[in-house]
């Protein structure tokens, strides 16, 4: 039977919640102090209908903060105020998806925040989250969420690459050994489906998913049964299609959280300034614990140093007046150095 554990890592201005499924990261939820509360999954707000696109069947609604949300047009009219709930966070330069829950009044405003990180983790695991060791767990989850290629238990690889149209999953069993080819392929595909489900949840992906299975003559019922079990945690909204004659297994997985890559990276794949700011804060905290009493000198890129400035007071309160941060034009955004003196 599968076992899930929850962990919460508390950082400076950032909290990371992780769910492990049988010891492997399955979910990573990042919350930052400067996030727009009304844009988080499950938040409820009063919103005003800005425009109605009846030809597309959608309406754009002005939320208290951040980009406009999108809802089915229904009977909405421009200028109307309604109460809404975020059912899918913003992604791909699109605002959050909203569900209209009733009539509203007044100015756009937050009515109820999203579930707390603690409550989310309890809901997924059935037990309170742990804090001991959470930093390492969250770092490992973040690394896995940003990776493209992942090893399969027993050998082989699975690659997961999102595009604008779909999430492409490729299964490779080049180094897998044992048994006849057809049995080997079926075993690898079943394992790959389970791993794909876990990793897609971890990465915060959704929409159309196409898995390029290995081998030929696939056992469709067995693959569908495996997919229903592996993606059960993504219900409601899961849709499983047949396997094509080219060995492509198609599914539709509901979007809910913002993709982790968009939370952590720029469009070119490099770490964003907020990501590097929080990584630097964690590195300073780690250095301060290992070198108590020593002065700590940090050198980093100018944009990271500027973004880090608001955290100085909180970090100084924790480690004392022994930290200096210097902007170094020779360093790229993804680089920093820490020295104890």
Q: Per-residue pLDDT tens for 178-205? A: 667 788 889 999 999 999 999 999 999 9
Is 43-112 in CATH node 2.40.50.140? Answer: yes
CATH of 147-260, one of 3.40.630, 1.10.760, 1.10.8, 3.30.70: 3.40.630
pLDDT at 184: 86
Q: Inform me whether the pLDDT recorded for 29 exceeds 80.
A: yes
Domains of the chain, by residue range, sit at 4-35+116-136, 43-112, 147-260, 265-340
Tokens of 144: 């896995």
- Measured at the alpha carbon of residue 69, what is the angle toward residues 124 and 269, in degrees to the nearest 5? 70
- Specify whether the CB–CB gap between 38 and 148 falls below 8 A: no
pTM greater than 0.85? yes
* Second CATH level (architecture) for the domain 265-340: 3-Layer(aba) Sandwich (3.40)
> Mean pLDDT, to the nearest integer, of 75-97?
94
Q: Are strands 167-172 and 207-212 parallel, antiparallel or unpaired?
A: parallel
Contact residues for 136 (Cβ-Cβ < 8 A; gap 6+): none
Q: How far apart are CA 137 and CA 232, in angstroms?
A: 24
265-340 matches 43-112 in CATH topology: no
> What end-to-end distance do the CA atoms of the chain give, in Å?
51
- pLDDT confidence of residue 68: 97
**What per-residue confidence (pLDDT) applies to 181?**
76
The number of residues in the chain equals 341
Q: What is the pLDDT of residues 311-341, one digit of tens each?
A: 898 899 988 899 999 999 999 999 999 999 8
The number of C-alpha atoms within 13 Å of 214 and in the hemisphere containing its C-beta is: 24
């Amino acid at each position: 039977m599968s076992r899930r554990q929850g962990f919460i890592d508390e950082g400076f201005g950032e909290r990371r919640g992780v769910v492990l499924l049988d010891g492997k990261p399955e979910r990573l939820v990042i919350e930052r102090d400067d996030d727009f509360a009304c844009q988080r999954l499950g938040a409820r707000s009063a919103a005003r209908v800005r425009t109605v696109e009846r030809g597309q069947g959608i309406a754009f609604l002005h939320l208290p903060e951040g980009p406009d949300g999108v809802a089915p047009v229904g009977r909405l009219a421009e200028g109307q105020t309604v109460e809404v709930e975020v059912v899918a966070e913003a992604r791909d330069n699109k605002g959050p998806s909203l569900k209209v829950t009733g009539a509203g009044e007044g100015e756009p405003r937050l009515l109820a925040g999203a579930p707390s990180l603690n409550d989310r983790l309890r809901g997924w695991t059935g037990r309170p989250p742990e804090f001991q060791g959470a930093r390492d767990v969250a770092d490992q989850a973040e690394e896995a969420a940003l990776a493209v290629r992942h090893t399969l238990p027993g050998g082989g690889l699975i690659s997961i690459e999102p595009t604008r149209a779909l999430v492409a999953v490729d299964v490779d069993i080049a180094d897998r050994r044992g048994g006849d080819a057809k049995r080997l392929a079926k075993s690898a595909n079943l394992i790959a489906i389970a791993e794909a489900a876990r990793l897609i949840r971890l990465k915060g992906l959704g929409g159309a998913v196409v898995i390029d299975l290995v081998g030929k003559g696939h056992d469709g019922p067995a693959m569908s049964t495996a997919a229903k079990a592996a993606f059960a945690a993504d219900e409601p909204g899961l849709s499983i299609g047949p396997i094509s004659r080219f060995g492509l297994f198609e599914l539709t997985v509901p979007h809910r959280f913002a993709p982790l890559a968009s939370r952590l990276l720029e469009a070119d794949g490099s770490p964003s300034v907020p990501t590097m700011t929080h990584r630097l804060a964690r590195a300073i905290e780690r250095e301060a614990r290992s070198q108590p009493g020593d002065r700590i000198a940090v050198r980093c890129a100018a944009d990271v140093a500027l973004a880090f400035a608001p955290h100085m007071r909180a970090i100084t309160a924790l480690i004392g007046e022994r930290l200096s941060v210097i902007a170094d034009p020779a360093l790229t955004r993804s680089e920093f150095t820490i020295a104890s003196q």
